[in-house]
Structure 1
Amino acid sequence: MRKFQSGQGLVEYLIIAALIAVSAIGVYSFFGKTIRNQVAGLSAEVSGQSASGQISQASDAADSADDIADKNYNLGSYDSAANSAASSSGSGSGNSGQPVQD
């Protein structure tokens, strides 16, 4: 019996790691733009610039992801949600690097 179980732990670990990776890809396809804009806003604020552009773009991206996630998909159209989420436009540039006027 023990002979057949020698690689079972590794196989289970690989299956779990693959499921986590697929889930992360799915989440990032819906919320990737929101996350990028939030990080861009954080870096702008840390450098002393206004991040109002990034904040509004992150909000718009979150609203878009919410609209896309609210639709019904089946196995024949599961990739259309990710494609429409990834193809929505946005520059993520915020205030275009202009310094804050005090």
Structure 2
Amino acid sequence: MQQGSSLLYTRGQGMTEYIIIVALIAVAAIGVYSLLGKTVRNQVSGIAHEVSGQSSSQQLNQARSAARRSGTVARQDVTLGNYDEATEAGEN
């Protein structure tokens, strides 16, 4: 009987570790997307325009300017006190 509960405990522990890892990956992905989201969206839009035979120079220029802004935001010192200001600056 004790072997069965030990096996369940081990399974539960493994699942907990898996959930923690997935949560950390999700937080990292959200952070990267908040920093580079506009750049990625503009690049994908440029690709879509090129595939359809249209000029994508406007989208690529927007992607470049968004990348420059994300570099500026990345150099700022961010704490919990000014986190909102830094994320709002990256949205412009």
- Structure 2: 5+ residue runs without aligned partners? none
Whole-Å separation in 2 of the counterparts to 1:6 and 1:45 = 49
Deviations 1:60-83 (A, max 9, x none): 000000000001112322343223
1:24-63 mapped onto 2 (5 Å cutoff): 24-63=29-68
Identity percentage over the alignment? Answer: 51
Unpaired stretches in structure 1, ≥5 consecutive residues: 89-102
1:80 aligns to what? Answer: 85
Bigger relative contact order (CA 8 A; separation at least 6): 1
Q: What amino acid maps onto 2:29 in structure 1?
A: A
User: What SS class does the counterpart of residue 29 from structure 1 fall into?
Assistant: helix
Q: Does 1:13 align with 2:18?
A: yes
Superposed CA RMSD in Å reads: 1.7
Aligned to 1:96: none
Aligned residue pair count: 87
Pair member with larger Rg: 2
In 2, Cα distance between equivalents of 1:79 and 1:22: 16
More helix by share: 2
The answer to whether the Cα contact below 8 Å between 1:26 and 1:82 also exists between their aligned partners in 2 is no
The CA distance in 2 between the partners of 1:11 and 1:83, in whole Å, is: 34
